[in-house]
Structure 1
Amino acid sequence: MNPIRPSYQALDLARQVLRIEGEAVLALTSRLDDTFLCALELILNSRGRVIVSGIGKSGHVGRKIAATLASTGTPAFFVHPAEASHGDLGMITGEDVVIAISNSGESDELLNILPAIKRQGAKLIAMTGNSASTLARDADAHLDAGVAQEACPLNLAPTASTTAALAMGDAIAVALLDARGFDAEDFARSHPGGSLGRRQLKIIRVREVMRTGEAIPVVPPEANVAACVCEITRGTIGMTVVVSTERQVLGIFTDGDLRRAVLKHPDLHGLVARDIMTAKPRVMHPDKLVDEAVEMMERFKINQIPVVDDDGILVGALNMHDLFQAKAI
């Protein structure tokens, strides 16, 4: 059997798919208005949960939206509309908000459970591509997620429409996250099983793992190179902090600074910390999460961070090994 080799036409088609789907998502921005705010208000003022429902591809999108809501501070779960007709409607209470997703707005499975949802007293948010549909008309708030065309060359397979619905769901989740004041600590509590959760099963602050007092290697700006090297060796974190008499951080002197100084100044005699330190280094506040320290180290490719208070006074020091010991990495 001869292998099938895709042609460059496949690349053109793939690029067209991404362009169509990207344009479909961008088109949603102009449709976000007071109706979107109304939908958020329904959820924020609800004493129950958010129930997401949809059939087919909309169902797959709905499951993801429910998962995103739940992980960002809005209790939510997915109910299959066909199963709802056979008992799962008992999961929905009058205090809940139902998000029903259907591109046509005429999905029989959703319309069949609509009267029961209304009788229960739950609020209904419809997300459809047809503002004149039955689902849109009967909803307490309708979110228009319609698209000009599907990315499928046949204009049949749900592609751009499902991408748009997914993006609209993310917009709802993030807007609710912000409105609730949901922060990194809250996120960590709802993700105990992932890498973030493993780092923050206990929410750890920098002050809990930083080195303090005599364990912080420090030198004055007038210290000679030999004194700097001795302090780096004593501190065992690969740097010494250069501080003023008021313990303001002026810079840091690291193993890397020493190597660069040797290359630039074959004779180090007469040089002091001020001459060869890294001025204005990255610093961290003791009340920050250790995860933020990890992110800073990875982003700027550094291994040590001085820790300063609100006045810029040195109160601690942190290196990558400390974070390993705290199981922050």
Structure 2
Amino acid sequence: MTETTLDANRLLAAAAEVLDTEAKAIAALADRLDDTLVESCRRIIDCPGHLIVLGIGKSGHIGHKIAATLASTGTPAFFVHPAEASHGDLGMIRREDLILAISNSGETEELVRLLPVIKRLGVTLIAMTGNPDSSLARHADLHLDTSVDQEACPLGLAPTASTSAQLAMGDALAIALLDARGFTAEDFARSHPGGKLGRKLLLHISDLMHQGDELPRVPADANLAQAIVEMTRSRLGLCALVDDEGRAVGVITDGDIRRHVEEIRDLASFPASRIMSRSPQTIDRNELAATAVELMQQKRIQGLLVTDEDGRLVGALNFQDLLQAGVV
């Protein structure tokens, strides 16, 4: 096997030229944005069904991504492979749906073959092509022009600038729709419950807090031995002292015990209230878990007591709980 000698300068120059070519291709799309995009958005928003994305080859890969972006930003969408559509998957498309067909040439055989069927269904067809005079563009109800002056591939063969333009136009369409729908970060989180953003925006304190028998608490007049037993049992590194109405009057942490260890002679006779922190930091159970992270970092503490709407103690959590939940 012959060893290839790499010219670093030539490699970097080639890579930079690709980026420059693709950047120019994407920038040129802005001058073509007109009422066609606006009407496309209007029809998609008014569509009672789904937006079906079609594409084959590299345009198919781009179509998959565009469909995923649309679906995650408030527009019900999914991808259908044109070849599979001709063999049964066309049944996935209903009259109330809308089709976005992607092809750089606009003459992709598998797509053009579907045009008569699409017309019979009466489904609105939006074409995204690099050729406004192509069969796909001419038969579409609306056409989004993604033509490029040249591909970034020096051979002019591999779809590069053209697929970048398609992807950018798809993102432009998705974000325009997001804005028109008033789609929020909370909406995004609901469709991404497994992601970090979803956990930050959807998880509440009540979802994570230790409560019931897991809540470390003792009466306000308890001795330190009782408090330590509760702290050890719960493994939260803290114990709340509560009054007769169930409100926290103080909290003891591992650190409090270490700081006062020289004063303590008999745990069973030493009042826990003597070393407790009064007016402990609390958080409402309905707050977002992300708020607890901010509060702990701001106050430089490792745990929080959780209260209900009436200020009564209902739970506790520490920083480890937030780490395990993926909020941090």
| TM-score range for the pair, normalised by the shorter chain length | 0.5 to 0.7
Structure 2 residue 171 is matched with structure 1 residue 170: yes
Is the 1:105–1:136 Cα contact (8 Å) retained in structure 2? yes
Is the 1:303–1:320 Cα contact (8 Å) retained in structure 2? no
Percent identity of paired positions between Structure 1 and Structure 2? 60
- Look up the match of 1:203: 202
CA distance in 2, matches of 1:184, 1:122: 31
Amino acid at match of 2:81: H
Pairing 1:231-270 to 2, within 5 Å after superposition: none
Amino acid at match of 2:44: I
Displacement, 1:208?
A: 9.1
- Stretches of structure 1 that go unaligned for 5 or more consecutive residues are 211-235, 237-285, 307-317
Structure 2 residue 63 is matched with structure 1 residue 62: yes
Structure 2 residue 305 is matched with structure 1 residue 304: no
C-alpha distance after superposition, 1:22-81 (max 9, x if no partner): 111111011111000011111000000000001110001001101111111111111111
Is the 2:95–2:122 Cα contact (8 Å) retained in structure 1? yes
CA distance in 2, matches of 1:291, 1:150: 45
Amino acid at match of 2:15: A
Kindly tell me: are residues 26 and 305 of structure 1, through their superposed partners in 2, closer, same or farther at Cα, counting changes over 3 Å?
farther
Kindly tell me: are residues 15 and 207 of structure 1, through their superposed partners in 2, closer, same or farther at Cα, counting changes over 3 Å?
same
Displacement, 1:148?
A: 0.6
- Look up the match of 1:328: 327
Kindly tell me: are residues 326 and 155 of structure 1, through their superposed partners in 2, closer, same or farther at Cα, counting changes over 3 Å?
closer
Structure 2 residue 184 is matched with structure 1 residue 190: no
TM-score, length of structure 2 as denominator length: 0.66
- Look up the match of 2:83: 82
Kindly tell me: are residues 319 and 13 of structure 1, through their superposed partners in 2, closer, same or farther at Cα, counting changes over 3 Å?
farther
Displacement, 1:320?
A: 6.1
Kindly tell me: are residues 2 and 100 of structure 1, through their superposed partners in 2, closer, same or farther at Cα, counting changes over 3 Å?
same
- Look up the match of 2:269: none
Kindly tell me: are residues 207 and 124 of structure 1, through their superposed partners in 2, closer, same or farther at Cα, counting changes over 3 Å?
same
C-alpha distance after superposition, 1:227-256 (max 9, x if no partner): xxxxxxxxx9xxxxxxxxxxxxxxxxxxxx
Structure 2 residue 136 is matched with structure 1 residue 135: yes
CA distance in 2, matches of 1:149, 1:106: 18
Kindly tell me: are residues 304 and 5 of structure 1, through their superposed partners in 2, closer, same or farther at Cα, counting changes over 3 Å?
farther
Displacement, 1:6?
A: 2.2
Paired positions, count: 245
Superposed CA RMSD in Å reads 3.4
CA distance in 2, matches of 1:42, 1:174: 15
- Look up the match of 1:95: 96
Is the 1:304–1:320 Cα contact (8 Å) retained in structure 2? no
- Look up the match of 1:48: 49
- Look up the match of 1:6: 6
CA distance in 1, matches of 2:120, 2:194: 39
Is the 2:193–2:202 Cα contact (8 Å) retained in structure 1? no
Kindly tell me: are residues 325 and 128 of structure 1, through their superposed partners in 2, closer, same or farther at Cα, counting changes over 3 Å?
closer
Is the 1:68–1:170 Cα contact (8 Å) retained in structure 2? yes
CA distance in 2, matches of 1:48, 1:157: 35
Is the 1:99–1:127 Cα contact (8 Å) retained in structure 2? yes
- Stretches of structure 2 that go unaligned for 5 or more consecutive residues are 210-236, 238-284, 301-316
Is the 2:47–2:98 Cα contact (8 Å) retained in structure 1? yes
User: Which of these two proteins has the greater Rg computed from alpha carbons?
Assistant: 2
Kindly tell me: are residues 305 and 321 of structure 1, through their superposed partners in 2, closer, same or farther at Cα, counting changes over 3 Å?
farther
Displacement, 1:183?
A: 1.1
Displacement, 1:105?
A: 0.7
Is the 1:305–1:319 Cα contact (8 Å) retained in structure 2? no
